[in-house]
Amino acid sequence: MSKQPIRGVEPGSAAEDQIAEHLIAHPDFFERHPGALARLQLPHQRGSAAVSLVERQVLVLREKHASLELKLQELIENGRASDAIADRVHRLARRLLRARDFAEVIGALETSLREDFGSSRWVTLVTDPTVPGLDGQSSPHLRLVPRGSPELKIFETFFESARPRSGQIRDTQREYLFGGEGSQVGSTVLIPLGERAALGLLAIASHDTERYLPTMSTDFLVRIGELVTEALTARGA
């Protein structure tokens, strides 16, 4: 290879691309030409002063390291949050397993939703009148309304999707679920109960507008729905 300097190389030209490709293909170039590495000066990204290639590489590596540390911290925090949620769902499952009748199921839900999930209000809306044992149950947290009732038209889209929702709900839905206290509700979670929400829904509300956000994971909400569905149907069997 000729050691004559390359002249007339314009920025962005094909010749410049060839130089870049050569350096990439020969990573030992600067080991064989240490003097060239020492003479290289690059403009600093944060000012007009020039820095050596080595200094520039150190800066780039530091920035990458800081970015990786931030991502690692986010992963750790997300993992801790997931573990905490799993513990809460586990406690709910244990309470429901210990419940011997509908009254104790409602009590278990009340304790878990208030203590572990930040609920200020909640209601279970059962739309399947065939669930045995529910007739005659009296609780402010349990309402029996047949699916075909016109008043449930406001939940039609939710029942069709049969997927958990979190965040803000319509005023009509909030007032229907929580009555006069609906104006104090900041955010809400709607959880379908049963296959394609055949059993109804569980509505959980908080005063805090940031408590239940649309971006929150719904995986654990699905698990809560499954647990509540099993608890209600098993007690009625």
Residue 142 has pLDDT above 80, yes or no: yes
Residue 175 has pLDDT above 70, yes or no: yes
Domain spans, the chain: 100-236
Using one digit for the tens of pLDDT, what is the confidence trace for 56-91? Answer: 677 777 888 788 888 888 778 777 777 888 899 999
Residue 54 has pLDDT above 60, yes or no: yes
Select the more confidently predicted residue: 22 or 123.
Answer: 123
How many whole angstroms separate alpha carbon 81 and alpha carbon 106? Answer: 26
How many whole angstroms separate alpha carbon 213 and alpha carbon 148? Answer: 30
Using one digit for the tens of pLDDT, what is the confidence trace for 176-191? Answer: 999 888 889 999 999 9
Residue 2: per-residue pLDDT? 41
Question: Are 185 and 205 in contact, with CB atoms under 8 Å apart?
Answer: yes
Residue 89: CB partners within 8 Å, gap ≥ 6?
220, 223, 224, 227
Rounded to two decimals, what is the model's pTM?
0.67
Question: Are 237 and 132 in contact, with CB atoms under 8 Å apart?
Answer: yes
Residue 14 has pLDDT above 50, yes or no: yes
| 3-state SS assignment for residue 188 | strand
Using one digit for the tens of pLDDT, what is the confidence trace for 93-122? Answer: 999 999 988 888 889 999 999 999 888 899
CATH class of 100-236: alpha beta
